[in-house]
Structure 1
Amino acid sequence: MLQDKVISTINKYKLIKKGDYILLGVSGGPDSVALAYILNSLKKRLGIKLCIGHLDHAMREYSHKDAYFVRSLAQKLGIPFFFSRVRVNQAYKEASEEQNARSARFSFFLSVAKKENINKIALGHNFDDQAETVLMRILRGAGLYGMLGIMPKREISGHVFIRPLIDLKRKEIIAYLKKKKIRFCIDPSNAKNIYFRNSVRNELLPLLESKYNKNIKERLNDMADSIAYDYDYLMRSASRFLKRQGQSLQVGSLIRLHPSIRRLALRLSIHAKQGDIRRITFNHIQELDDLIINRPDNSIVDLPKGLYALKKRGKLYFRNKY
C-alpha cells in the first residue's frame, strides 16, 4: 500500500512528528495532488494538521485554472487554502526562469508559514525527480553538496522542508491517482524540452535507460543516498571548526585544515552571511583557497550578491559591499 511506503519514508528520515502543522505545496500536478491526498489520509494516524498553499507564477496563459483547481481540491479535502499570484518574470530577474519561479515559490511558502505559525512545508518531489536532479548536477559539474540531490529534510530560514514522496517512483504515483480516480492538472510545458530538466527527463534519462543501464534512476538515487552520509560527516567536522572561530576565520587554521573541510567551512561561512550559496561556483572556492594560501594581506575576492572576502592581519572576513 502506497501509504505504508510513505510512512516508511517518514520514519526513515524523521520527517514528521505528532503535533506538526504542515503546509502542503500543491501546484495541481500529479505529485503534489498525490501528496495532499496521501497525507490527508494519514493525518489522524500521524497526529498532524494540514493546510495547502498554491502560488500562481503567471508564466502561462491558463495558470489561473490550476489555482482554481487547487482551491477546489482544498475545499474537497476540508483543508485551509492559501494563495498568492506573482508575475515571476517581472519580480525576479537575476537567474533563469526556472530558478526565479523556485525562488518565488519558496518566498511564498516561507511567508505563509511564518504568518500562520506553520513549522513544516511538504513538497511532492519523488524518486524520479531525485534521479533527474543528480544527473543535472553531474552535467553542471557540482561538488559533493550538489550531488546530494534533493534532501528529504532540510531547514531553510527557520522552517523545515520535507519530501515524504521521495522514495516513490513517478509511475507509482500515477497508478495511485488512476486507481483512486483522482484528477490532476497537466502542465503542457513539461513535454517541451525548453528547460534543462525537461531535456534530462524526456531525452537523456530514457537514452541512458535503453542503451546503458536500465536501472540508472536507482543507481543515481543510491549515489545520492551514499553521498549524504559522507557529506554529513564532513559537515559536522566543518561546523565544529567554525564554532571555534568566531566572527572571523584564522588564516593559519584554515591552511592546516584538509582542503575538503576548508572548502566546506568556506561555503558554510558564506551561507551564514547571505543565506544562499546557489551562485557560489567551484571557481569562487578556488579563488578563496588561493586568497588564503597565496595572496598577500589586504587582498580581496569578490563574490555574488555584493559579498566579498578580505584577508587581513592573519584573518579572513566575509563582508557586504552595501
Structure 2
Amino acid sequence: MNLTSRVLNFIRKEGLVKPGSLLVLGVSGGADSVFLAHCLHRLRHELSVRLHIAHFNHRLRKSSDRDQKFVEDLARHLNVPITVANRRGHLGFPKLSEDAARRKRFAFFAKVAAATGAEAVVLAHTANDLAETVVMRLLRGTGLYGLRGILAQRRMGDVTFIRPLIGVTRSSIESYLRKHKLDHCVDETNARPVYLRNKVRLELMPYLSRLNPRIHSVLVDMAHTALDDYDYLEAQARQRLKESVVSSSQRVKIRIKNFTASHPSLRRLLLRLAFERLAGDTRQLTRAHVLGVEDMVKGGPCGAEVHWPRSVVVTRTRDFIEIHL
C-alpha cells in the first residue's frame, strides 16, 4: 500500500474529516508539512474537502523569509489559497522559546480557521514526533494523560486540530519526497541540539535505538495503550461527574462523600474534568495542583481554598468541593 493510501485509510478509520469540509493546512515548508500538502491535495476529491494553506513566519532565522516564499510558491503550484502572517521585528530577534513559538503558531492557525469557516486545522506531526513527545513527557514527569502523546484529533477552544500523519514515519515521508522529486525547506536549527525536542531527537533517540532498534514502535504502542486506558477512565469519571456534581457555567460542586469514596485515579480525573468544564481545556493544570486539592479535602477546614491556574479557585465546604471562577 502506498503512503497516500495509508493516510487515506487512517483518516477514514479515525473519522478525522467530514465530506464537504474546508481544512486549514499548517505548512512550514519542512518535509513533513510539504508531504501533508501534496498528500491531501491528491486526496481532496476522494475526501470531498477543500484546502487552505496557512504559514506563520516566526522570523527567527535568516532563511525564514525563504521558507515563506517557498510555501507561497507551493500554494500557487497546487492552486490552493494561502494566508501568511509574520511575527513583528527584524530577523532573529527576539528569540522565542519552543512553547512560545508554538502558542503563536497555533493562535494564528485558529484565527485562519475562524476567518475561513474551516472545519479543522491539519498538522503534520508524524509517528516520530509522537515517540519523541512521549520521551519528553517522561523526562519532565507525567502520568497516563501525558503518555498518550500527540492525539490524532483534539479540540482546543473553538478549533479542532487533526493529525493524519501520526501513524507515518519521518523516513517514509522523506522516501516519498525523494521518489516524487518534491522539494522542501531544511531548517538548519533542527540539526542543533538547542531545544529539548532537538536534544531528544538528535542525541537521546539514537542512543535508545542502539539499546532497542524498535524503540519508536515501542513508544508509539505505549502511547496507544495509554490512550485506550485513559479513554476508559475518562468515561468512568464523566459518569461519576454526572452522579456527584452540581454545576453551572461558572461553578462545579463535587460531593465530598462521593469524591473520597472514589479510586484515586478517578478522583484526580474528576478534578481535571471539572477544571476543563470551567476553563475549556486542562492546559496549565498540573499534578501538584490536583494533589493540593486532595490534601485540602483530607485535612483542610471548611472555607479552605486552593488557587488553580486561569483564575479558578477550589473551596472546601462542609459537604462539597466547590470549583469556581
Whether these two folds match at TM > 0.5 is: yes
Give the deviation of 1:276 after TM superposition.
4.0
Work out whether 1:316 is the aligned partner of 2:312: no
Aligned to 2:250: none
In structure 1, distance between residues paired with 2:127 and 2:282: 25
- Residues 1:227 and 2:237 aligned together: no
Alignment partner, residue 107 of structure 1: 107
Q: Is the 8 A contact 1:88 1:101 kept in 2?
A: no
C-alpha separation in 1, matches of 2:118 and 2:246 = 32
Q: Residue 310 of structure 2 aligns to a residue in which SS?
A: helix
- Structure 2 distance, partners of 1:88, 1:175, is 37
* 1:88 CA drift (Å): 9.6
- Report what 2:151 is aligned to: 151
Counterpart in the other structure of 2:66: 65
Among 261, 264, 273, the alignment partner of 1:259 is 264
Cα displacement (A) at 1:136: 0.8
Calculate percent identity across the aligned residue pairs: 39
Deviation at 1:74, TM superposition (A): 0.6
Distance 1:284 1:128 in 2: 31
2:126 aligns with 126
Q: Deviations over 1:109-136 (max 9, x none)?
A: 1111112110111100001111100111
Equivalent in the alignment of 1:198: 198
User: What residue is the counterpart of 1:216 in the other structure?
Assistant: 215
Task: Give the secondary-structure state (helix, strand or coil) at the position aligned to 1:136.
Answer: helix
> TM-score with structure 2 length normalisation?
0.92
1:269-308 correspondence to structure 2 within 5 Å:
269-308=274-313
1:263 is displaced (CA, Å) by 0.4
Question: TM-score, normalised to structure 1's length?
Answer: 0.93
Q: Confirm or deny: 8 A CA contact 1:10 1:16 kept in the other structure.
A: yes
Letter in 1 for 2:9: S
In the TM superposition, 1:43-54 aligns within 5 A as 43-54=44-55
Q: Match for residue 182 of structure 1?
A: 182
Structure 1 stretches of at least 4 aligned residues deviating more than 6 Å after TM superposition: none
Q: What does 1:27-42 align with in structure 2 at a 5 Å threshold?
A: 27-42=28-43
> Structure 1 residues 98 and 276 mapped into 2: Cα distance closer, same or farther (>3 Å)?
farther
Distance 1:64 1:246, change over 3 A: farther
Q: Give the length in aligned residue pairs.
A: 314
Question: Gaps spanning 5+ residues in structure 2: where?
Answer: 248-252
Instruction: Check conservation: 1:309, 1:316, Cα contact below 8 A.
Output: yes
| Distance (whole Å) between structure 2 residues aligned to residue 191 and residue 305 of structure 1 | 36
* Residues 88 and 104 in structure 1, CA contact (< 8 A), matched pair in contact too: no
The CA RMSD measured in Å over matched residues stands at 1.8
Shift of 1:160: 1.8
* Higher mean C-alpha deviation, range 73-82 or range 246-255: 246-255
C-alpha distance in 2 between matches for 1:62 and 1:205: 27
